[in-house]
Structure 1
């Protein structure tokens, strides 16, 4: 029984339990002095929870644990001399066994007997069945593959049966105790509370896991490279140690990457903030409903465009255009390269416009209408109302939105790769190429590298540095919003 069928049966049992429990609850006969505690919908929901949740949780745990148990059993079924050999790769051996097991499932009885007797060429035979093998394997792998197949089939069969039985037992438990005083509502609310706590815990643990995974690798990196060389170095040249280099492993200066990250983000914000903020003011204060219903969705379409498309747009259109314009103005020698800080900043600014406009529009619309109407009632013009009343009232929220947008700009990768290049330069000329931290993280983790050399581990140091920067900006944004929000309510 496949996973989808098991889940479908469990869901059907849960729905049936819900309908029956609700029907029974509606037919409960009133008793003198006894008031029904929970509505029929809660009785149905409680029966559905008992029918679905325990069965699904068991089924999920079984599906996670059974492959681990089967792997161990298959490995133990191999001859002892194979398991104790020092040159045996366990993962490769078990993978070959599993491939043989897949091929055995596609053989008929006669072909299967030939394989068991050792008379068949496994590689050629399985190729006719659509199963590719690099070699014929070893003779001991066929019995191990049959063991794997039988255990897998038993696991699938028993897990489905037990999950369905648990679902039926839960449904029976939910239907058997329906009375006027049954606290079904409390039980449902308790389950929902624990579900919300579980979801929050997963989010927190995921964040902690991400931080710890970067932190441990970062500590390993700083065992090879001093902190001062990383945080205060002005040269980024993480070359591998060459013969006769005396063990030199390059230079890992963060400053060129950090400068490029902040420079490109600054150019993007200088372009996105005025356009996005003015668009938000227009849509919230000046535009009619008909215009707003058209302009706002069109602006938000920009947020749905993949960043790689923006990068191609910068590489093919914006970069060459800026280069040609600067060359024409300078008399032949371009002042702006096709791949430059200005190119990446402009295109990234276009991408950020919907973030700024949408967030600012929501914040401006949240300003109490009484402030707006009171200003107009006292004789102020619309522009004076926006400048002297609306924007000051919405300023904390707008500042927070801009900080969130800046953190989005700092984390961008694809636009920078195509529009600004990968050269770790340290310059103040926006017409030259620079790169960012995210680009170098991708570069250092691209290729067949082991996580033991400083050239690879530096990516984790860069990642945790970027994490701290964006986290600080997000915390600052939330602080500003929460501190100054109440004075305008």
Structure 2
């Protein structure tokens, strides 16, 4: 009976795995099929190098660079917020705080990861943007900076949790050996602990960046819907995910070139996030230290 139950569980788990693979292949098939139809009408050179993106307006332009630059602004400024704050918080929780403080602070900070992104979007639009306008009057109502700040706050727990777990995995003997050599607490942290846990730390950075690339509701609410090739974070921009939200509202007829742009943008977004995830895996394997 026990062996029978194990076989049943084995087949159930195998079936779940096959369902996951089937769903993934189906998504990829639809993406690449519709994207191929799009590129029968639009040159890939024009798509990847064009500086104007107006597929829903006349005259139509299909240059993806404005959406890529908008996504880049969100990633850049959100990383400036999430990476330093997340890493320094992880260092404090791992190396300076006691266990009681860690048990209280870490769950509180990780609550940020559980807040729906649409809440962050309203927070950016109604709280962060007015503050920015008071500090910098030329800030637009919809702007990249307020959205990036909200995305940065949202991704702090990802950097913090993964980095802190990596630091906690460093053997205590390494710290004790460093102290025996006369190193200070700060020297141990930056000279021993961080180098020993660097694979997990860098992986947390890459995963946070991937999360920022794929963020949707925050940028759709706070960043605006103006595809513009700019590096000014105070202006209204549009990201790739923001455009997908705009097209997905149902105002575009299926099968048209306008609807096919959705799949072309989604394909590029998928490739970007896939590269980031592969890079994270490579870094983790390349820099991993085993003790």
Length-normalised TM-score, structure 1: 0.58
1:421 aligns with 2:224: yes
- Give the equivalent residue in structure 2 for 1:189: 6
Q: Does 1:199 align with 2:9?
A: no
Aligned to 1:396: 199
Separation in 1, partners of 2:57, 2:136: 38
Residue 262 of structure 1 is matched in structure 2 by 72
**After superposition, where does 1:158-237 map in structure 2 within 5 Å?**
184-185=2-3, 187-237=4-54
Which of 459, 480, 485 pairs up with 2:262? 459
2 CA distance for matches of 1:263 and 1:240?
Answer: 24
Q: Is the contact between residue 252 and residue 258 of structure 2 (CA under 8 Å) also seen in structure 1? A: no
Mapped to 1, the partners of 2:26 and 2:227 lie a distance apart of 30
How many Å separate the matches in 2 of 1:313 and 1:297? 21
Partner of 1:322: 132
For the 8 Å contact 1:322–1:338, the answer to whether it is kept is no
Contact 1:234 1:255 in 2 (8 A): yes
Work out which of the two has the higher radius of gyration on C-alpha atoms and give 1 or 2. Answer: 1
Counterparts of 2:14 and 2:115, CA distance in 1: 34
| Paired position in structure 2 for 1:163 | none
- TM-score (norm: length of structure 2): 0.96
For 1:212-240, what per-residue CA distance to the aligned partner results, in whole angstroms no more than 9, with x for missing partners?
A: 11111111111111111211111011135
1:337 to partner: Cα distance:
2.5
Return the alpha-carbon distance in structure 1 between the equivalents of residues 267 and 222 of structure 2. Answer: 25
CA distance in 2 between counterparts of 1:281 and 1:239 reads: 48
Name the structure 2 match of 1:370: 173
Aligned counterparts of 1:188 and 1:462: Cα–Cα separation in 2: 46
Counterpart in 2 of 1:284? 94
Aligned to 1:37: none
Higher relative contact order, chain-length normalized (CA < 8 Å, sep 6+): 2
- SS state at 1:236 partner: coil
8 A contact 1:240–1:455 mirrored in 2: no
Structure 1 SS opposite 2:102:
helix
Matches of 1:224 and 1:277 in 2, distance apart? Answer: 46
Find the aligned partners of 1:472 and 1:414 in 2 and give their Cα distance.
23
Deviation per CA, 1:63-105, whole angstroms, max 9, x where unpaired?
A: xxxxxxxxxxxxxxxxxxxxxxxxxxxxxxxxxxxxxxxxxxx
Deviation at 1:442, TM superposition (A): 1.4
Q: How does 1:237-316 map to 2 (within 5 A)?
A: 237-239=54-56, 250-316=60-126
Residue 221 of structure 2 is aligned to residue 411 of structure 1: no
Q: CA deviation at 1:484?
A: 2.0
Deviations 1:420-455 (A, max 9, x none): 111001111122121100010111222243321111
Distance 1:417 1:239 in 2: 17
2:203 matches 1:384: no
Cα shift readout 1:27-63 (whole Å, capped 9, x = no counterpart)? xxxxxxxxxxxxxxxx3xxxxxxxxxxxxxxxxxxxx
Q: In structure 2, what is the Cα distance between the partners aligned to 1:449 and 1:254?
A: 19
Q: Secondary structure at the match of 2:18?
A: helix
Aligned equivalents of 2:79, 2:57: Cα separation in 1? 36
- Following superposition, which runs of at least 4 residues in structure 1 exceed 4 angstroms of deviation? none
After TM superposition, list the pairs within 5 Å mapping 1:130-141 onto structure 2: none
Q: Is the 8 A contact 2:240 2:269 kept in 1?
A: yes
SS in 2 for 1:380: coil
What's the offset of the Cα at 1:488? 3.9
1:471 maps onto 2:290 in alignment: no
Q: Distance in 2 between matches of 1:303 and 1:414?
A: 14
Q: CA deviation at 1:195?
A: 2.2
Gaps of 5+ in 1: 1-42, 44-183, 242-247, 328-333
